[in-house]
Amino acid sequence: EIVHAGGAVALPGFVDLHTHLREPGREDAETVETGSMAAALGGYTAVFAMANTDPVADNAVIVEHVWRRGREVGLVDVHPVGAVTVGLKGEKLAELGTMRRSVAEVRVFSDDGHCVHDPLIMRRALEYTKSFGGVVAQHAEEPRLTLGAQAHEGANAARLGLAGWPAPAEEAIVARDCLLAGHTGGTLHICHVSTEGTAEILRWWKSRESAGRVSAEVTPHHLLLTDDRLDTYDPVNKVNPPLRGDADVLALRQALADGTVDCVATDHAPHAAQDKDCEWSAAKPGMLGLQTALGIVVQTMVRPGLLDWRGVARVMSERPAEIAGLTDQGRPVAAGEPANLVLVDPEAEWTVRGAELASLGENSPFEGMQLPGRVVATLLRGRLTAHEGKVRR
C-alpha cells in the first residue's frame, strides 16, 4: 500500500505513559479496543493502561486480561499498569511480584484515581520496583487536602462556590516522594504535574547529585487550559488535578521545554455521557486526550518556538519509552527493522468533534477547536494501524 506523505514529518511512534482504558468495569466509557483505535489515530504505538479499573488491576487476573486484549486488538502495544495497593482504599500493599510473574511486561506500578498515600507503602513499592528496574508512577495528590475539593483554589472556584484544591496538595507529595526515591534508590514517575511549584521542586531535585531517579509528565490540557474555563459549571472542565492559573501553564510549558518535565502523557480519561451530562458535583473528573495530544503540543510548544520537531519526538516518544524501560519503542528506525512510527502533516489543521473521535466517551475539552498537526499515518512494527483518519486492521 502506498502512503502519500509529501511534506510530512516522520517521528517515532508516540508512547503514552498514562491512559485510562476502563476495561474491565466501564466498557460503556471505553474498551481496550476503542481506546486502541483512538491511540492509533493519535499517532501512538504504545500506551500504559492505568490500574483504576473495576475490579482494580491489583492482581494477575486483571493485568493478564488487559495485556491479552491489547494483543488481540493489535493496534497499539497495551502495557498494563499494576496497582500498588489492593482495592480503592489504598491501605494495603498489593502482591506486586505475583502480577509481575504473570505478565512480565508489567514494569510500571501506580495507584491512579487515588495517590499512593501511605509513605511506608510508597517506600516499599520503590524498593520492590528497584529490584527489577521498574517504576512507581504517582498520582500526586494529598487526599486529606483535597477532600471535597473540586477545582483549583482561586477566584474562579470561589465565585462558583466550589471548594478549592490547593497547589500544596500536589507539591507536598511530589517533595515527599522525591526524597523517598533518593532514600531508596528507586525510580519515581510523577503523573500530571499541574503547578508552578511542582516544576520548581522537580528542578531543585534534578539539580542534585543523588541516588534515585525522578521523572515527570504533563498533560496536554494542563499545557493549554486554565481555570478561566470555570465561568460556568460545565463538567467537561472537571479534571484531577484541576485546571490551574496562567502562571502555572506558562511554567509547565517552560519546564517541558527545558527537560524539567520529561514528557507529555494524556491522562486520557473517557467517561460515559451520563457521568458528564450532569451536575458539576456529580460529574466524574477527566478528559479525552489520545487523539488531540499532538495538536495541543504543536499549538502550545511548537508554534511558540518552545520545541522543534526533534523536541516533539523527545517528549512524546523517546523519554516516555526510556522512563518505562521499553527498548523497542521511542527511537529512530534502524535499517531493515519493522518501524514504529508516525507521519505528521505539520501544516494541516483539523477541527475537534468529540462525537467523531474513536473513544466511546465524547468528553473532549477541545470541542470545536481548530488544531494544527494532523496524523497522516501510524505504523506498528511496519504495519499500518491508522491512515488519513481511519483505523487499519
Judged by the rule CB under 6 A, the positions of this chain that interact with ligand DOR are 20, 52, 112-113, 139, 239-240, 267, 269, 284-286
Minimum Å gap between C-beta 137 and Zn ion is 9
Pick the closer one to Zn ion by CB: 113 or 330: 113
Tell me the H-state helices in 91-245.
Answer: 96-102, 119-130, 155-160, 168-184, 196-206, 220-224
Residues 31, 23: Cα–Cα separation, whole Å: 5
Minimum Å gap between C-beta 334 and ligand DOR is 36
Pick the closer one to Zn ion by CB: 239 or 380: 239
CA distances from 212 to 80, 125, 129, 325 (A): 24, 13, 12, 15
Q: For the chain, give the longest Cα–Cα distance.
A: 60
Minimum Å gap between C-beta 195 and Zn ion is 14
Minimum Å gap between C-beta 356 and ligand DOR is 21
Residues 164, 157: Cα–Cα separation, whole Å: 6
Contact 386, 41 (CB under 8 A): yes
Query: For Zn ion, which residue of 267, 275, 322, 345 counts as binding (CB under 5 A)?
Result: 267
Strands 9-12 and 341-351: antiparallel
Pick the closer one to ligand DOR by CB: 199 or 239: 239
Find all residues with CB under 8 Å of 387, minimum gap 6, and list them: 3, 376, 377, 378
Residue 267 annotated to the active site: yes
Asked if residue 139 binds Zn ion (CB under 5 A), the reply is yes
Asked if residue 262 binds Zn ion (CB under 5 A), the reply is no
Contacts with Zn ion in 184-203 (CB under 5 A)? none
Pick the closer one to ligand DOR by CB: 163 or 339: 163
Q: Which of ligand DOR, Zn ion, none interacts with 296 (beta carbon under 5 to 8 A by kind)?
A: none
Q: Which of ligand DOR, Zn ion, none interacts with 286 (beta carbon under 5 to 8 A by kind)?
A: ligand DOR
Pick the closer one to Zn ion by CB: 30 or 112: 112
Q: Which of Zn ion, ligand DOR, none interacts with 239 (beta carbon under 5 to 8 A by kind)?
A: ligand DOR
Provide the 8-state DSSP code for 358: S
Binders of Zn ion: how many residues, by CB under 5 A? Answer: 3
Q: Which of ligand DOR, Zn ion, none interacts with 130 (beta carbon under 5 to 8 A by kind)?
A: none
Minimum Å gap between C-beta 285 and ligand DOR is 4
Contacts with Zn ion in 336-355 (CB under 5 A)? none
Find all residues with CB under 8 Å of 106, minimum gap 6, and list them: 63, 79, 80, 81, 82, 99, 100, 134
Pick the closer one to Zn ion by CB: 192 or 387: 192
Q: Residue 80: enclosing H or E segment and its boundaries?
A: strand 77-80
Asked if residue 23 binds Zn ion (CB under 5 A), the reply is no
Minimum Å gap between C-beta 216 and Zn ion is 13
Residues 307, 156: Cα–Cα separation, whole Å: 31
Tell me the H-state helices in the chain.
Answer: 32-41, 60-73, 96-102, 119-130, 155-160, 168-184, 196-206, 220-224, 246-258, 293-297, 309-313, 319-324
User: Residue with the closest Cβ to Zn ion?
Assistant: 139
Residue in the block written with cell 508554534: 303
Minimum Å gap between C-beta 283 and ligand DOR is 11
Angle of helix 246-258 versus helix 196-206 axis, rounded to 10: 30
The 99-118 site mask, x for binding Zn ion (CB under 5 A), equals -------------x------
Among residues 227, 262, 267, 275, which one is catalytic? 267
Residues 172, 145: Cα–Cα separation, whole Å: 10
Residues 214, 97: Cα–Cα separation, whole Å: 22
Q: Which residues bind Zn ion (CB under 5 A)?
A: 112, 139, 267
Give the catalytic positions in this structure: 267
